[in-house]
Amino acid sequence: VYRAAQRDTGDVKAIKVLRRRFSENKGQRDQFLREGKMGIALQHPNIVPIHKVASEGNYHYLIMNFVEGRNLREFLKVRKKLSPVEALRLTADLLDGLSYAFELGVTHRDLKLSNALVSSRGLAQLVDFGLAVAVGNISDDTLDKIPNPRTIDYAGLERATGVRKDDVRSDIYFLG
């Protein structure tokens, strides 16, 4: 992920580029582009918005908002612990974004500390819907045809608890 400024406006954006070694792999490339399409469809204050999905030759990239801050893993490493009020506020932000995605029929399937960003102003946002699955309003032929694996943690939880694959409760559990 690179920080970039648009030449004519000076707007700062993040450019997420698929690594060259993955761009040759159709499955990796399709999953990356699928993440971008999913991100464009998810427009909510607590989800980092993706503005453009592009491919130029073997270069595939997403243009999204740049979040001045850090991921939740780094945030907690620096802070060591959070006050109950701050923890609840960050959790509420992430739940708002997740709830919005659920309303559209999207489950994240890869929630972890590094996929939650905390801006320098204290806003928490979800990122990286690369393993998400759309079972509602935003699914289209392209999204439905691309395989969407889930992390091994999700698979293990679903097997151990007997919940169906892509159940929203798995996302809620991992957010907790």
Active site residues: 110
Are 175 and 111 in contact by the 8 Å Cβ rule? The answer is: yes
In order of 28, 33, 59, 62, 109, the CA distances from 24 in angstroms are: 8, 13, 10, 17, 25
Are 100 and 73 in contact by the 8 Å Cβ rule? The answer is: no
The helix-helix angle for 168-175 and 84-103 (nearest 10°) equals 160
- Sign, CA torsion 66/68/70/76: negative
In terms of Cα–Cα distance, which of 72, 53, 166 is closest to 112? 72
| Residues pairing with 71 in the sheet | 117
CA distance 40 to 16: 14
CA distance 153 to 145: 24
